[in-house]
Amino acid sequence: MSANQSPAGKQPTATYDSAFLRACRREPVPHTPVWFMRQAGRSLPEYLKAREGIPMLESCMRPELVAEITLQPVRRHGVDAAVYFSDIVVPLKAIGIDLDIKPGVGPVIAEPIRTRADLARLRQLTPEDVAYVTEAFGLLTRELGATPLIGFAGAPFTLASYLVEGGPSRNHEHTKALMYGDPQLWADLLDRLADITAAFLRVQIEAGASAVQLFDSWVGALSPADYRRSVLPASRKVFEVVSEYGVPRVHFGVGTGELLGLLGEAGADVVGVDWRVPLDEAARRVGPGKALQGNLDPAVLFAGREAVETKTREILDAAAGLEGHVFNLGHGVLPTTDPDALTRLTEYVHTQTAR
């Protein structure tokens, strides 16, 4: 099945031969495709203007605003793919979890989930719960044409960490206490979150996503043995559910150098790599049959044009022998990044890799 055509025939066929999807399929490309995690967001003055006075979660539920924000970096930077503007906790909010995204803090959960009785609060997600997502994707795919639109969701472990901790955590002590202390409850929690996550991705794919990325932002806190035993089954379930659509599946986590092979094993077609591991070494750890995505340190963008180009050249050289490479940062765009630096970086990668 094509990488942009669902069984329902709702995927935009115009994106099939895009550089981004070709790289995901490990096919020859006219140039290395570029997109940036968090490219739609706080680094853009037009984003700040569009969202002025609108809380984060509310902004994720306004289809016309979501479409505008998603399109902004495509217009400004000339990137090879758009990424849907949302937040990983949106599906949790949609099923009734009492949470808010507090500026300068992140998602905060009013009542953490730590007991078996709490699982009842995690009901299944339906398309009707996120009708605004379907509407926004419709607006975007019409506007984007041949430019792919990437959908995304938070992976079960990272969602579980927010739910159990009650918000962001440095040490994940409550999360790990549950994982080690009540492994059956932990497995049931992650399985429930896998169902919610897969349902959220299905909505996006059926609405027009050309690819999807699963963000496991906090999973780098685990050892490979803990990941394999306590996380891999749930992440694999998500990827298996959406495999029928034939769209590329990207998996990314922060601080996951020791887990790269397992991230691919979970079912990803493309493994995202942060800046801590060179791409050639990452390819060795992941093994054959996977494309890689990454991996410029976002902080390098503050160092000036010459330094950015030097570090980018190192990444492109390390990627020279890869089966498929999507250029990205090793994590999201930092809020105070100069937007012009991203525009120049996109042009530099395109120029340097033109076939």
Q: Identify the CA nearest to 54 among candidates 45, 43, 66, 44.
A: 66
Confidence class for position 104, pLDDT limits 50, 70, 90: confident
Which is nearest to 59 in space by CA: 76, 73, 42? 42
Output the six-digit token pair for 171: 């040490």
pLDDT on residue 167: 93
| 246 marked ligand binding residue | no
Cα–Cα distance for residue pair 73/54, rounded to 1 Å:
20
> Residue 291: is its pLDDT beyond 50?
yes
pLDDT > 70? residue 3: no
Q: Which residue has the tokens 């949609």?
A: 94
If pLDDT is split at 50, 70 and 90, which confidence band does 103 have?
A: confident
Annotated ligand binding at 162? The verdict is yes
Query: What per-residue confidence (pLDDT) applies to 6?
Result: 39
Asked if 61 and 51 count as a contact pair (C-beta separation under 8 A), the reply is: no
Q: Whole-prediction pTM value?
A: 0.95
217 appears as a binding residue in the annotation:
yes
Give me the active site residues, please.
38, 42, 51, 87, 162
> Per-residue confidence at 2, pLDDT binned at 50, 70, 90?
very low
Share of the chain above pLDDT 70, in %: 96
Annotation-wise, does 330 bind a ligand? no
Q: Is 284 annotated as a binding residue?
A: no
Q: How many helices (H) and strands (E) would you count in the chain?
A: 15, 9
Rg of the chain (C-alpha set): 19
Distance CA 222, CA 176 (A): 9
Question: Is 331 flagged in the annotation as binding?
Answer: yes
Mean pLDDT value across residues 98-126: 94
Per-residue model confidence as pLDDT tens digits over 31-67: 999 999 999 999 999 999 999 999 999 999 999 999 9
What is the mean pLDDT of the segment spanning 127-141?
Answer: 98
Q: Which residue has the tokens 């909505």?
A: 203
Please provide the average confidence, as pLDDT, over all residues in the chain.
95
Q: What is the pLDDT of residue 5?
A: 46
CB 157 within 8 A of CB 231: yes
Q: Is 41 left (phi over 0), alpha (psi -120 to 50) or beta?
A: left
Say whether 39 counts as a known binding-site residue: yes
Q: At what angle do helices 305-318 and 279-286 cross, to 10 degrees?
A: 30
Note the pLDDT tens digit of each residue in 218-275: 999 999 999 999 999 999 999 999 999 999 999 999 999 999 999 999 999 999 999 9
| pLDDT tens, residue by residue, 148-198 | 999 999 999 999 999 999 999 999 999 999 999 999 999 999 999 999 999
Helix 339-353 with 63-77: angle, nearest 10 deg? 60
Asked if residues 113 and 121 have their Cβ atoms less than 8 Å apart, the reply is yes
Token pair, residue 274, equals 């942060």
Statement: residue 13 has pLDDT above 80: no
CA distance 146 to 192: 35
Q: In whole angstroms, what separates CA 71 from the centre of its chain?
A: 17
Residue 300 has pLDDT above 50, yes or no: yes
Name the H helices within the chain.
19-24, 45-50, 56-59, 63-77, 90-94, 131-144, 156-165, 173-181, 183-207, 224-230, 232-242, 260-265, 279-286, 305-318, 339-353
The rounded percent of the chain whose pLDDT value lies above 90 is 94
| Two structure tokens written together for 142 | 């019409």
